Structure 1
C-alpha cells in the first residue's frame, strides 16, 4: 500500500501524520489514539484497514513523532479539538470516518459536537465519554483486585505517593486485569513507551487510569449523545476498564447506534484480538459507505 507522511502546523507546534493507501477514492478513516499523551504507535496494526480505504494516523502534539513543547497550557481538550480541525483542514478532508480509542473517543465526541460537518461516522472504541462515570466504574473494578493491592493504592493516594514504586507496581496489577490481559506483554508495546508523554497524561487525566485528578475529570458529554445523527459504533472488551455496562449505556442513548463486545479482550482489543477487531471495523465502515 502506498503511504505519505509529513508534519502539520497546529497551535503550539507541529504534529506528525501518515496516510496509508492515500490514492484510494473511498472515504478515509482518521484514527484518534488514546492517552492523553500516548501515540498512534500501539494502533499501527490498524493500517490493515487501508486495504479498503485511506487510513490516517497522526500523533497528537506532545507525543509520538510530533513536537513536544514544554508548555502545560497546551494540554487541554479545546486545543486538541482545534488541532484535529487543523489536521482535517490541512489534509483537505471533505468527508471522513473517525475511529477513536479511549481518550480518542473523548476527543472524537468533543470534535463532532463542535465540528460535525464532514464526519460520516464515528467509532467509539473503549469509550470514555463521561469521566465521572469512568471514575465510578474504576472504583468498582478496584474492588475486584486482591485486598493487599487495594490497600496499597488507597494508602499511596491518600498520602500523595502516587509516584512511588509501590503504587506503580500495584497499578500494574490493575492493568493486567482491565487494560491488557496478554502475558507476556507484546514487545512492540514495551518499545512504544518511548513515544508517550507522562506530563500530558498527568495534566489531563491523573496518575493512573483509575485515579482521575486532571483537567478532564469533569468531562461528560452523555447528555449530547442523543443528538448524534450519523452512523455510530460502540465497542469494548469483555474485561475492559471501559466497561461493557457503560459502553452499552452510551449505545442505548445514541440513536441507531451499534454495539459490539470483544469477548477475549480488556482495553486493547486491537492488540488482544486484532483479526476480530479488523473484521468488525471493516464491516461497519463498508456498510456506512454503501448506504
Structure 2
C-alpha cells in the first residue's frame, strides 16, 4: 500500500548514479519527460503538478493514475505513457510530494482533501467529463473514494495493489512476515517491538520483506530513460514526514492518522461492473484479502499479474499495460453501447 522509504532510498541512489554516468535522452520519442502539456493546478493548500500526454477532448476517455504513499510520486507510472496512443494519459504528484508544492502543513493530510484534489484536476484540465481513475496502493483507496463521490465523472475505477482498510492491511503484512524464513520473521518482530535492535539488524530483514513482496529480485533494471526521468521530474521525491504522519514508521505498524481507516464499505456504493482489482502474484496486498473485497463488489473483475509483487507495474510493465489497455477499451465500448 505504501511507498517504502527503503525502496525510495534505493531509487534515489540510482538517480544519483544516473546523473553522474547517464546523459539525458536526446530522442524525444523515447523520453518520458516529453509531455503534451504540464500544469500547476490550485488545490486546497497549494498547487499540484500535473502532466498530460495526448490532447484532452481527442481520442478515447482519458485516464488518470493515482500514486501510492501517502507521500509517493508519479514516477513509477512512466512506462504506462504508451497508453497515450489511444487516449490522454494524466499523471500528477499529490500535494507535498514530488513536483507539487510542499507546504508541509499537516492540516492538508486528510483523505477527503486528496479526493478533492482529483476533482480539482479534472475541472482545471477542461473537457474531461468522465475519466478512468487508476489508483495504486494508497492511490486505490483514493480511486474508490472518488468513484463513490463522483460516479458521474468515473468511467471506471481500477484498484491496484489494493489498500482499502488499515486493519486488513496490517493483518495481511503480518501473515506475510510469518511466511518469511524463521530468522527473518523473528528479526522483523523484534524490530517492531518496544526495544528494537539496531538499524543494521533491522534494515536487512525489512529489505528481505520488500524483496519478497515489493520489488522482486528478478525485476528489470531501470533503463537510462527511467533514471533520467527520475532525475528530471522526481522533484523533492518521496515525503517521509507525510508518510509517517498518515501511516507510521513501517509497513507492519500503522500509528498515523490512517490507523483506523477503512473505506471497504464504499464498495457497495459503486457500480461493480466498472471496478477492477489488480494485484501481483506476490503482492503485499494479499490475494485472499482482495478476493474478500471482490466479493463485496458484484460484477467487479480481478486480474493477477504472474510473477509480480506490489511493484508489478515496474516489474512487469508489458503485462500491466495490457491489462489496463484491455480494461479501458472494453469499458469505453460498453459505454458507447449504453451498457
Number of aligned residues: 291
Q: 2:315 aligns with which of 272, 275, 279?
A: 272
Q: Specify every segment of 5 or more residues in structure 2 that has no aligned partner in the other structure, as ranges.
A: 1-28, 30-34, 335-339
Change in Cα spacing, 1:160 to 1:39, as seen in structure 2 (3 Å) is farther
Write the distance in 1 (CA, Å) between the matches of 2:257 and 2:197. Answer: 17
C-alpha displacement at 1:184, in angstroms? 6.8
Q: 2:244 aligns with which of 202, 216, 222?
A: 202
What is residue 17 of structure 1 aligned with on the other side?
A: 50
Conserved in 2, the CA contact under 8 Å of 1:182 and 1:272? Answer: no
C-alpha displacement at 1:10, in angstroms? 0.9
C-alpha displacement at 1:178, in angstroms? 0.6
- The correspondence of residues 146-225 of structure 1 with structure 2, limited to 5 A, is 146-159=181-194, 164-183=199-218, 186-187=221-222, 188=226, 195-225=237-267
Q: 1:246 aligns with which of 270, 285, 289?
A: 289
Q: TM-score, with normalisation over the residues of structure 1?
A: 0.93
C-alpha displacement at 1:56, in angstroms? 0.5
Write the distance in 1 (CA, Å) between the matches of 2:310 and 2:235. Answer: 17
Change in Cα spacing, 1:45 to 1:140, as seen in structure 2 (3 Å) is same
1:255 has 2:298 as partner:
yes
Task: Supply the RMSD in Å over aligned alpha carbons.
Answer: 2.2
Write the distance in 2 (CA, Å) between the matches of 1:183 and 1:193. Answer: 28
Change in Cα spacing, 1:199 to 1:135, as seen in structure 2 (3 Å) is same
What is residue 143 of structure 2 aligned with on the other side?
A: 108
Change in Cα spacing, 1:165 to 1:89, as seen in structure 2 (3 Å) is farther
Change in Cα spacing, 1:217 to 1:172, as seen in structure 2 (3 Å) is same
Secondary structure at the aligned position of 1:6 is classed as strand
C-alpha displacement at 1:115, in angstroms? 2.6
1:61 has 2:95 as partner:
yes
C-alpha displacement at 1:194, in angstroms? 5.5
C-alpha displacement at 1:79, in angstroms? 1.4
C-alpha displacement at 1:223, in angstroms? 2.4
Q: Specify every segment of 5 or more residues in structure 1 that has no aligned partner in the other structure, as ranges.
A: none
Write the distance in 1 (CA, Å) between the matches of 2:218 and 2:306. Answer: 17
Between structure 1 and structure 2, the one with the greater Rg is: 2
What is residue 118 of structure 2 aligned with on the other side?
A: 84
Write the distance in 2 (CA, Å) between the matches of 1:214 and 1:34. Answer: 16
C-alpha displacement at 1:158, in angstroms? 2.0
Q: 1:138 aligns with which of 173, 179, 201?
A: 173
What is residue 11 of structure 2 aligned with on the other side?
A: none
Secondary structure at the aligned position of 1:143 is classed as helix
Q: TM-score, with normalisation over the residues of structure 2?
A: 0.80
Change in Cα spacing, 1:186 to 1:216, as seen in structure 2 (3 Å) is farther
C-alpha displacement at 1:160, in angstroms? 6.2
C-alpha displacement at 1:126, in angstroms? 1.0
Q: 2:75 aligns with which of 27, 41, 61?
A: 41
Change in Cα spacing, 1:85 to 1:165, as seen in structure 2 (3 Å) is farther
1:51 has 2:106 as partner:
no
Conserved in 2, the CA contact under 8 Å of 1:162 and 1:168? Answer: no
Change in Cα spacing, 1:163 to 1:59, as seen in structure 2 (3 Å) is farther
Conserved in 2, the CA contact under 8 Å of 1:228 and 1:255? Answer: no
Write the distance in 2 (CA, Å) between the matches of 1:119 and 1:163. Answer: 47
Conserved in 2, the CA contact under 8 Å of 1:180 and 1:267? Answer: yes
